[in-house]
């Protein structure tokens, strides 16, 4: 039986990162069943037609050039005692160290009708190809469930391809993990401007149909009906983008400790068993702010976790600081970013918060093309610590969000942010007289007389 120093189950961003760090210096296997590892973040833009499907496929050479061996197979069993993996074709390999990087799978709630044809989710090559084929064959209508970033990006892609879209969510505002409702009103309007029909505060309770889904029933009793246009291929589809659950089926009956959001690890990515580690979406971890369990199923969390483990297995001693969940998306003309805790999340965690707001333009207002940019800052009243920040702008926001994430990581206070030293230039910012971050911080200091 072939034996590996390190076996990694999973070839997503976490697995690939580990291959890059450890492939040259270890006999290493990266195991995944898919033909291709995917750039999931770009899938909506493939449906939209902005990029070809193939552009979302990562080359195997990312793993093999790094010196690791790619095993295209599915692990069906892990024998922790004798350190072997059994594949679905009953072949086996042995390992010294094992890393779970098995990711997460879309959650499809077990409501009546959820196994009808025409009901699916949005991750993997199979879903991409299926949805793309439906759209190319004249799909008329889609119902997307979940108004988070994935649901919204997909809904827009449908709309750009002239598919009528209904976007359904139980919450009372869109993108609740990114921005509070007082920042997202403009985004709901923008979605409707893009011909996306929003159903907020609407729970999907049943899907009806004989073989293929024909209608969607909401808690209010309202239904969204699909006509059967020209045969099955052209009727409607329902896509769930209502959250991910950790893929931890391989450890279900083992002594590895798991919890609601995945495999439990310490800040060195070690499980409770020696030589067994876990990284990425399959892991449960804590907020870097509260120290309490928080979800963080993002590639921008999976990759740093894999790096911590990779460097530690190379002999360093690094620790993972926890989730800050800086993230971004785009709705029509707006770029949206959020980091840390929203006001709603901070309040739910028990903080007494004060929020500051600011609005500037993306360039000097006298310059052609200057657009509006709005920010919200969330601060803990007791310690003055910055807990979160949100931006809605007509220009990209990621670098500003990263700056704010760093401020949160470094436990900066609102006073620190009001003293931020900044740059200004007519094409790239508001006048030197004001900076969006400083203005929001000053708003809080004024309100609180701090």
Task: Count the residues of the shown chain that bind ligand FAD, applying the rule CB under 6 A.
Answer: 32
97: CB partners within 8 A, 6+ apart? 5, 6, 7, 275, 276, 277, 313
Q: From the CB of 379, what's the least distance to ligand FAD, in Å?
A: 25
Can you tell me which of 4, 6, 15, 289 binds ligand FAD, judged by CB under 6 A? Answer: 15
Interatomic CA distance for residues 322 and 266, integer angstroms: 10
Distance (Å, whole) CA 235 – CA 215: 10
Q: Which helix (H) or strand (E) holds 389?
A: strand 386-393
Q: Which of residues 294-313 bind ligand FAD (CB under 6 A)?
A: 297-300, 302
The correct pick among 6, 66, 250, 377 for binding ligand FAD (CB under 6 A) is 250
Does 379 participate in binding ligand FAD (rule CB under 6 A)? no
Shortest distance, position 332 Cβ to ligand FAD, whole Å: 17
Of the two residues 234 and 299, which places its CB atom closer to ligand FAD in the complex?
299
Report if residue 191 touches ligand FAD, rule: CB under 6 A.
Answer: no
The H or E element that residue 414 is part of is helix 414-418
Q: Which of 63, 66, 104, 444 binds ligand FAD (CB under 6 A)?
A: 104
Stretch that binds ligand FAD, among 8-16, 90-98, 220-228, 401-409 (CB under 6 A): 8-16
- From the list 34, 48, 92, 415, which residue makes contact with ligand FAD (rule: CB under 6 A)? 34
92 belongs to the binding site for ligand FAD (CB under 6 A): no
Q: Is 31 in the site for ligand FAD (CB under 6 A)?
A: yes
- The residue behind tokens 């590996």 is 4
- Contact stretch for ligand FAD (CB under 6 A) within 101-109, 129-137, 333-341, 352-360: 101-109
3-state SS string for 22-36: HCCCCCEEEEECCCC
The contact pattern for ligand FAD, residues 143-172, with x = CB under 6 A and - = no contact, is: -------x----------------------
Q: Which is nearer to ligand FAD, 43 or 163 (CB)?
A: 43
Residue 9 touching ligand FAD (CB under 6 A): yes
Q: Tell me which of 74, 125, 177, 413 binds ligand FAD, using CB under 6 A.
A: 74
Beta strand 3-9 with 28-32 is parallel
Contact between 101 and ligand FAD by CB under 6 A: the answer reads yes
CB 293 within 8 A of CB 300: no
Q: Which of residues 355-374 bind ligand FAD (CB under 6 A)?
A: none
Distance set, CA 204 to CA 56, 117, 118, 171 (Å) = 31, 17, 16, 12
Stretch that binds ligand FAD, among 39-47, 168-176, 391-399, 401-409 (CB under 6 A): 39-47
Q: Which is nearer to ligand FAD, 363 or 400 (CB)?
A: 400
Selected binder of ligand FAD within 102, 358, 418, 429 (CB under 6 A): 102
- Please tell me whether residue 40 binds ligand FAD under the rule CB under 6 A: yes
Residue 123 in contact with ligand FAD, rule: CB under 6 A: yes
CB of 46 to ligand FAD, least distance (A): 10
CB count, 10 Å around CB of 290? 17
83 part of the interface to ligand FAD, by CB under 6 A: no
411: alpha, beta or left? (left if phi > 0; alpha if psi -120 to 50): left
In angstroms, what CA-CA distances link 211 with 115, 154, 229, 239? 9, 25, 15, 16
Residue 284 near residue 320, CB atoms below 8 Å: no
Q: How far is CA 446 from CA 28, 160, 376, 442, in A?
A: 57, 44, 15, 6
C-alpha–C-alpha distance, residues 342 and 289, integer Å: 12
CB of 14 to ligand FAD, least distance (A): 3
Interatomic CA distance for residues 142 and 90, integer angstroms: 40
Q: Which stretch binds ligand FAD (CB under 6 A): 33-41, 59-67, 203-211, 354-362?
A: 33-41
Beta strands in 129-243 (DSSP E): 141-145, 164-168, 196-199, 204-208, 215-218, 223-225, 237-240
| CA distances for 337 relative to 42, 186, 272, 354, angstroms | 17, 14, 35, 19
List contacts with ligand FAD (CB under 6 A).
9-15, 31-34, 40-41, 43, 74-75, 101-104, 122-123, 150, 247, 250, 280-281, 297-300, 302
């Amino acid at each position: 039986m072939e034996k590996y120093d390190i076996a990694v189950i999973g070839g997503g961003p976490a697995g690939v990162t580990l291959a890059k760090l450890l492939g040259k210096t270890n006999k290493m296997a990266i195991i995944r069943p898919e033909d291709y590892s995917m750039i999931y973040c770009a899938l909506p833009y493939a449906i939209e037609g902005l990029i070809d499907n193939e552009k979302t496929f990562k080359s195997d050479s990312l793993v093999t050039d790094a010196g690791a061996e790619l095993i295209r197979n599915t692990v069906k069993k892990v024998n922790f005692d004798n350190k072997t993996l059994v594949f679905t074709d009953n072949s086996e390999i042995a390992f010294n160290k094992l890393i779970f990087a098995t990711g997460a799978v879309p959650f499809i709630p077990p409501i009546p009708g959820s196994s009808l044809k025409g009901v699916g989710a949005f991750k993997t090559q199979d879903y991409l190809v299926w949805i793309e084929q439906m759209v190319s064959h004249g799909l008329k209508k889609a119902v997307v469930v979940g108004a988070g970033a994935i649901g919204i990006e997909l809904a827009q892609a449908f709309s750009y391809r002239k598919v009528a879209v209904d976007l359904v969510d139980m919450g009372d505002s869109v993108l609740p993990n990114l921005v509070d409702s007082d920042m997202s009103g403009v985004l709901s309007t923008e979605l409707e401007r893009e011909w996306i029909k929003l159903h907020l505060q609407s729970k999907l309770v049943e899907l009806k149909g004989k073989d293929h889904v024909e209608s969607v029933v909401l808690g209010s009793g309202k239904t969204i009906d699909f006509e059967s246009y020209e045969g099955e291929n052209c009727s409607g589809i329902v896509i769930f983008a209502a959250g991910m659950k950790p893929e931890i089926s391989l450890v279900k009956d083992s002594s590895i400790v798991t919890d609601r959001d995945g495999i439990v690890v310490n800040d060195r990515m070690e499980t409770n068993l020696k030589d067994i580690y876990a990284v990425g979406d399959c892991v449960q971890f804590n907020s870097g702010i509260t120290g309490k369990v928080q979800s963080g199923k993002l590639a921008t969390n999976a990759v740093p976790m894999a790096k911590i483990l990779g460097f530690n297995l190379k002999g360093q001693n690094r620790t993972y600081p926890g989730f800050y969940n800086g993230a971004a998306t785009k709705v029509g003309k707006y770029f949206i970013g959020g980091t840390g805790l929203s006001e709603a999340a901070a309040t739910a965690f028990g903080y007494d918060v004060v929020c500051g707001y600011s609005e500037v333009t993306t360039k000097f207002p006298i310059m052609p093309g200057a657009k509006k940019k709005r920010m919200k800052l969330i601060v803990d009243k007791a310690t003055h610590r910055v807990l979160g920040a949100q931006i809605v702008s007509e220009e990209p926001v990621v670098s500003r969000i990263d700056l704010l994430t760093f401020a949160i990581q470094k436990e900066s206070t609102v006073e620190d942010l009001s003293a931020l030293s900044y740059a200004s230039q007519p094409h790239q910012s508001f006048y030197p007289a004001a900076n969006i971050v400083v203005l929001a911080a000053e708003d809080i200091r004024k309100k609180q007389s701090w």
